[in-house]
Structure 1
Amino acid sequence: MGRVNALPPAGQPEPLASFAALRTPQGAALLDELRDHDPAQELATATRLRRSHPAALVSAALGQARLRQRAVAKFGAEDAFRMFFTPHGVEQATRTSVATYRAERLAGRGVRSVADLCCGIGGDAIAMARAGIAVLAVDRDPLTASVARANAEALGLQDLVEVRCADVTGIDTSPYDAVFVDPARRGGRGRIFDPEAYSPPLSWATDAALRAPMAALKIAPGVPHEAIGPRTEAEWISDGGDVKEAVLWFGEGFTPGAFRATLLPSRATLVAGAPLPAPPVGPVGRYLYEPDGAVIRAHLVADIVERCGGRLVDETIAYVTSDTAYESDFTTAYEITDELPFNMKRLKALLRERQVGVLTVKKRGSPVEPEELRRKMKLQGPHAATVFMTRVAGAPTMLVGQPVKLTSRSPRRAARPR
């Protein structure tokens, strides 16, 4: 979980005092009481609680209760309602499934100690500690470091997690088996897309990684490939079909120059070295394959085309088509029934004829908004369909079909020789 590596502005309120109050017996009891509170009733709840508790404590507890409810999606209820959060911490924290996968990959390579630089609220440190790794967790913001320390204690991991409030650039990482860096990728205006504008910059994080026996750098999944150095293995991770992050791996056991796509929870992984030539483009066949987002981000769509013996529908669109059945962990398969030039009236007539009442809209290379399209179709009927708003050989096209389960399977773990 990345944090801006900067001191808090002078004159800010006393967040540390408010946080300390939440850790008193009175604060803990109030948080327990608010575990299942309804945010829609927050005003009435606050009015009632202020009759018996200090107003500042009630305000802090309500804010923390909201954050805990938001954190359930990433940490699960069992952990989230024992942990503490900051607003940025919830937003930027790594999902537990991803952090666990990453931690176990380090532990599986013999790592027993890690310097976690820019640790944030400690989500990654927790995952590494649970994998049996001793962690030095560092963050420069005093409140964030206090929250990380409290989280290690709340989950019984304080013997494995040492939290230090310090500037990460001054940390001696030489005593540790590995370094993990999660630079902040958000600023006052939102997401930061330039890796050198991360805090700390990607170049600094890379230098720190190259000095360590092993390292992992968490970066935005949309990072430009040209920003990835030749001495790292780059991995894109999706969880439940959503791309969550990219990681740059350094050290023994990783393949410099390789690109990898990994899917959770299955942990199926596709890895390739040198890129393949541009894949062929051709007409839409019986089947359409939608690669997982991690495959697309890792620029491994050409590998999918090669494996299924297919082609792209357009040289700029990541839809793969084939006339033969091909099933893979890395694609979702659809059987195409209709190919139409872009024409809303024709699509509406087709859906009415097929009695389609439930329509899934997917788009790539099209400005159409799915909700607006569904509204215009005035859907009625017992059947379901999927429509792809895309381009075929450069022409705006509508493809109609259904998800399909195929019989042939590709290996769950596959690697193409470099």
Structure 2
Amino acid sequence: MSTDAISPLLTPAGWDLLSSMGPYREADSLQVTGALRKAGHSAELVAAALTQSRLRAKAEAKFGEFARQMLFTPAGLEQATRLGTAALHAQRFTTAGITSVADLGCGIGADALAMASLDIHVTAVEMDELTAACATVNLMPFPHATVVCARAEDVDLTGIDGVWLDPARRTTSTSGTTRLFDPEAFSPPLSFVEGLAESGRAVGVKMGPGIPHDAIPGTAEAQWVSVNGDVVEAGLYFNALARPGVRRAALVTGPAGTSELTSAVPYDAGAQDADTGPVAGYLYEPDGAVIRAGLVADLARGIGAHLLDPHIAYLCADGLVETPFARAYRVLEVRPFNVKALKGWVKANRIGVLDIKKRGVSTTPEELRRQLLTGSGKGPNKATLVLTRIGEDRVAVVVEPLGG
């Protein structure tokens, strides 16, 4: 896509039209298109305005009311950092006393916007012309933010103290976009990030939460972030941005605020030094950021719980302990994982709504739910099953969800 996709909006009349549009509804798009064309607006302006209206509506989940004044591309919005998470990135630089940052691969400018709002001088670099144009519009309220259309690898960093990167982790073809998993296939690759860190600059990079632990440089602090239970990123921080005594961290944010679990030791896939025990009392489902950071055993020790299996991220404890790092359930019953027996249990208990969670078993919740509810009479009751493996045994734990 070229800048023609937004250029009709970059006039007073075009911007006024976009600003005047109400909440986007797909069902009304044809009617709105006809009305705007009848009012004398060009087809190009109407198409651009409707596209941005649709993207702004989608962007509210990440940017709130700020989305109403921003411009987006579909790919730029998909990879853009949530504004609250971008603020955490920016805070790393201000805490380290960094006042000038190059945001390499800035996309539509989410992280640069958060930094500029903290009075950091930002050079936002984006190689895609359309995306760079959107970032320019989004950063216009900040005179100390500059957008450069260039490759991250080609930027002169002389005089710049800090670098933030959000590498492209998708490849685009005629059939759409495909997610990349090899950090060396990113643009720019992780090795480029490590090279920047070797200069001594304060360097941070946003990676996908699924980054392999063995790909994480030994000189970096790794922090996995979850928002309302969704793991959104793994941030790697070098030099002044890395905190002393922290190698791994799980940052959990939600309606109740922000909490963090940290460890001073590197990740070790074989180090599950928590006790194991039976399914009893209360079952805890650790947040995904805790699991990704390899901090399940740390959480178990912190709440006085034990693992059900050394290789499965479920915990149990005799007592109920409030923690932001796990969802708690009261254990009601433990049954063998037998489809025929479970189907009889569903029918006998008149269960019509069945929530199924699982770890360590290959069965998909959707398929098992269909099997158990078919012919059950669709009763009025609701139940929650947790499917897991304990050693060689597969079990179905009937639980009652607690809290939010």
TM-score w.r.t. structure 1 length? 0.87
Q: Do residues 178 (structure 1) and 162 (structure 2) align? A: yes
Match of 2:252 in 1: 263
Match of 1:303 in 2: 298
The offset of 1:198, in angstroms, is 0.3
Match of 2:10 in 1: 23
Q: Do residues 68 (structure 1) and 56 (structure 2) align? A: yes
For the 8 Å contact 1:129–1:135, the answer to whether it is kept is: yes
Match of 1:192 in 2: 180
Q: Choose from 233, 238, 242 the match for 2:226.
A: 238
**Residues 3-59 of structure 1 deviation map (CA, whole Å, 9 limit, x = unaligned):** xxxxxxxxxx6x223422112122123213433232122223223322311112211
1:151 and 1:374 map into 2 onto residues whose CA distance is: 46
The offset of 1:356, in angstroms, is 4.0
2:44 and 2:127 map into 1 onto residues whose CA distance is: 26
The offset of 1:360, in angstroms, is 2.1
**Residues 122-181 of structure 1 deviation map (CA, whole Å, 9 limit, x = unaligned):** 01101111222221101112221111010112xx22x12111112221222242231101
Match of 1:390 in 2: 388
Q: Return closer, same or farther for 1:382/1:160 CA change in 2, 3 Å cut-off.
A: farther
1:240 and 1:289 map into 2 onto residues whose CA distance is: 17
Letter in 1 for 2:354: L
Match of 1:127 in 2: 114
Letter in 1 for 2:55: L
- Once the two structures are superposed, the pairs formed by residues 8-407 of structure 1 within 5 Å of their partners are 15-51=2-38, 52-76=40-64, 78-153=65-140, 156-157=141-142, 159-188=143-172, 189-252=177-240, 254-255=243-244, 258-265=247-254, 266-274=257-265, 277-278=271-272, 279-375=274-370, 376-377=372-373, 378=376, 380-381=378-379, 383-404=381-402
**Residues 272-320 of structure 1 deviation map (CA, whole Å, 9 limit, x = unaligned):** 0225732333321222111100000001111122223432222321111
**Residues 40-98 of structure 1 deviation map (CA, whole Å, 9 limit, x = unaligned):** 2222322332231111221122112111111111111x211110001111111011111
Indicate the larger mover: 276-285 or 114-123.
276-285
Identity %: 43
Letter in 1 for 2:260: T
Equivalenced residues, count:
389
Unaligned runs of 5+ residues in structure 2 are none
SS at match of 2:322: coil
2:71 and 2:223 map into 1 onto residues whose CA distance is: 30
Indicate the larger mover: 83-92 or 369-378.
369-378
Letter in 2 for 1:247: G
Letter in 2 for 1:260: A
For the 8 Å contact 2:17–2:49, the answer to whether it is kept is: yes
2:320 and 2:32 map into 1 onto residues whose CA distance is: 57
1:190 and 1:91 map into 2 onto residues whose CA distance is: 13
TM-score w.r.t. structure 2 length? 0.90
SS at match of 1:211: coil
Q: Return closer, same or farther for 1:256/1:199 CA change in 2, 3 Å cut-off.
A: farther
- Larger RCO (CA within 8 A; separation ≥ 6): 1
SS at match of 2:6: helix
Letter in 1 for 2:213: H
For the 8 Å contact 1:259–1:273, the answer to whether it is kept is: yes
SS at match of 2:198: helix
The offset of 1:353, in angstroms, is 4.2
1:80 and 1:73 map into 2 onto residues whose CA distance is: 9
The offset of 1:352, in angstroms, is 4.2
For the 8 Å contact 1:356–1:385, the answer to whether it is kept is: yes
The offset of 1:403, in angstroms, is 2.1
For the 8 Å contact 2:8–2:44, the answer to whether it is kept is: no
The offset of 1:380, in angstroms, is 4.6
Please give the root-mean-square deviation of Cα atoms over the aligned residues, in Å: 2.2
For the 8 Å contact 2:24–2:57, the answer to whether it is kept is: no
1:356 and 1:173 map into 2 onto residues whose CA distance is: 63
Indicate the larger mover: 203-212 or 134-143.
203-212
For the 8 Å contact 1:116–1:181, the answer to whether it is kept is: yes
Q: Return closer, same or farther for 1:193/1:18 CA change in 2, 3 Å cut-off.
A: closer
Letter in 1 for 2:243: F
Q: Return closer, same or farther for 1:379/1:255 CA change in 2, 3 Å cut-off.
A: farther
For the 8 Å contact 1:74–1:94, the answer to whether it is kept is: yes
2:331 and 2:3 map into 1 onto residues whose CA distance is: 58
**Residues 203-245 of structure 1 deviation map (CA, whole Å, 9 limit, x = unaligned):** 0012113324312111111001111111110000001111000
2:402 and 2:222 map into 1 onto residues whose CA distance is: 31
1:316 and 1:241 map into 2 onto residues whose CA distance is: 21
For the 8 Å contact 2:246–2:262, the answer to whether it is kept is: no
